[in-house]
Amino acid sequence: MDVATNTKGAEEQINKMVGFIGGGRMAQAMAKGFISSGLVRAKNILVSDNSEEMLHILEDIGVNTTTSNKEVVQKSDLIVIAVKPNVVGKVLKEVASLVVPEKQLFVSIAAGVTIKSIEQNLPAGTHVVRVMPNTPALVQAGAAVMASGSNAVLEDTALVQALLRTVGICEESSESLLDAVTGVSGSGPAYAFAAIESLSDGGVKMGLPRDLATKLAAQTLLGAAKMVLETGKHPGQLKDEVCSPSGTTIAAMHVLEKKGFRGILMDAVEAATLRAKELGASN
C-alpha cells in the first residue's frame, strides 16, 4: 500500500471484542482501518450510535451495530469512546454501572477530555488509555499518540499500540502533551486538505484541469511527507534542495514568507491546542 506509514503489519488477529460508543467519522476511520489491516474481524466490532442513518453506514462496513451504549459495554473487552467531548461525561455515567474494571479497557479519543475526568466517571480501578488519533487511520496512514491512565497496565498500552500501529504510527507520551498533539496531528489533516485544495485552485488558475491539479497537489504532499519520514533529513534541508538559485521555487517561497505562511500554520496549531484545552476544561 503506497501511502502506508504503519510500522507493524497485522501478524495475527486479536480475539477481543472491540466496541465503539459513537459511530461517527473517527470511529468509522478506525474501524475500517482495523478491519482492512486484518487485526480485527468485522464481526468482533460492535458500534453504538444514536443516529439510525449512521448505523446504516456502519452496517455497510460489516460491523455489528446497536443503539444501546450499554450493550457495547456488556459485550466488549475494549471500548473506544468516540463521541464528541461534550457527550463523554453523559455516556460514561450511562454505562458506568456495567463496567467490569479488572476486565475492560476504556480508550477515549475525545479531544481535550482528561484521563482524570474519564476515571472519575467510571468505577474505581477502571483501566483507561487516552489517545489522539487522526482520520488517515482509514488508509493506514494515521498518526496517533496515547497516554496511560492511572490503572492502565503494560498489556493495555501494548494492545492499544498494536491496534493503532496497524493503521499508522502510534507514539506514547505523557498526557500533558496530548492537546498539542491534537493541534498538530489530530486536526492536522484538515490543514493538509485545505493546502491540497488551495494548491489545486492555484493550478486551475494557471490553466490545469481540476482533476490533474488535485492529483498533483495530493501526490506532492504525500511525496514530501514520505521524504521527511524516510530520509531523516531536516525539512528545511529538503526545502533548500528544491530551491534552485534564481529559480521558480525561491520566487514562490518569497511570497509564502512575505504572507506569513509559517506563522499562520504555527498560529493554527496554537489555536487548536488552546481549543482542546478549553474543551477539556468544560468537561
Ligand X SMILES: NC(=O)C1=CN([C@@H]2O[C@H](COP(=O)(O)OP(=O)(O)OC[C@H]3O[C@@H](n4cnc5c(N)ncnc54)[C@H](OP(=O)(O)O)[C@@H]3O)[C@@H](O)[C@H]2O)C=CC1
Ligand Y SMILES: O=C(O)[C@@H]1CCC=N1
Annotated binding site: 21-26, 69, 82-85
Nearest by Cα to 283 from 88, 96, 133, 83? 88
> Quick one: what does residue 54 bind among ligand Y, ligand X, none, with the CB cut-off 5 to 8 Å set by partner type?
ligand X
Residue 84 in the binding site for ligand X (CB under 6 A): yes
Tally the C-alpha atoms within 13 A of residue 235's C-alpha that lie toward its C-beta. 8
Query: Which position among 10, 17, 18, 21 is part of the footprint of ligand X (CB under 6 A)?
Result: 21
Query: Which position among 187, 200, 214, 273 is part of the footprint of ligand Y (CB under 6 A)?
Result: 187
> Quick one: what does residue 131 bind among ligand X, ligand Y, none, with the CB cut-off 5 to 8 Å set by partner type?
none
Nearest by Cα to 18 from 159, 207, 184? 159
Give 79 or 144: the residue with its C-beta nearer to ligand Y.
144
Q: Which class for 235: exposed (0-12), middle (13-18), buried (19 or more C-beta within 10 A)? A: exposed
Residue 56 in the binding site for ligand X (CB under 6 A): no
Helix 261-281 to helix 248-258 angle (10° resolution) is 50
Are β-strands 127-132 and 142-148 bridged in parallel, bridged antiparallel, or unpaired? Answer: antiparallel
Contact predicate 138/29, CB 8 Å: yes
* Nearest residue to ligand Y on Cβ basis: 186
Residue 117 in the binding site for ligand Y (CB under 6 A): no
Query: Which position among 23, 136, 149, 186 is part of the footprint of ligand Y (CB under 6 A)?
Result: 186
Q: What span, in angstroms and rounded, lies between the C-alpha atoms of 211 and 11?
A: 37
Tell the residue number behind the cell numbers 534552485, with chain if given.
Answer: 244
Residue 186 in the binding site for ligand X (CB under 6 A): yes
Binding string, 73-112, against ligand Y, x = CB under 6 A?
A: --------------------------------------x-
Query: Which position among 35, 79, 91, 184 is part of the footprint of ligand X (CB under 6 A)?
Result: 91
Least distance in Å: CB of 81 to ligand X?
8
Q: Where are the beta strands (DSSP E) in 109-211?
A: 127-132, 142-148, 168-172
How many chain residues touch ligand Y (CB under 6 A)? 4
Query: Which position among 19, 133, 136, 188 is part of the footprint of ligand X (CB under 6 A)?
Result: 133
Binding string, 164-183, against ligand Y, x = CB under 6 A?
A: ------------------x-
With b meaning 16 or more CB within 10 Å and e meaning fewer, what string describes 12-35?
eebeebbbbbbbbebbbbbbbbbb
Binding site for ligand Y (CB under 6 A): 111, 182, 186-187
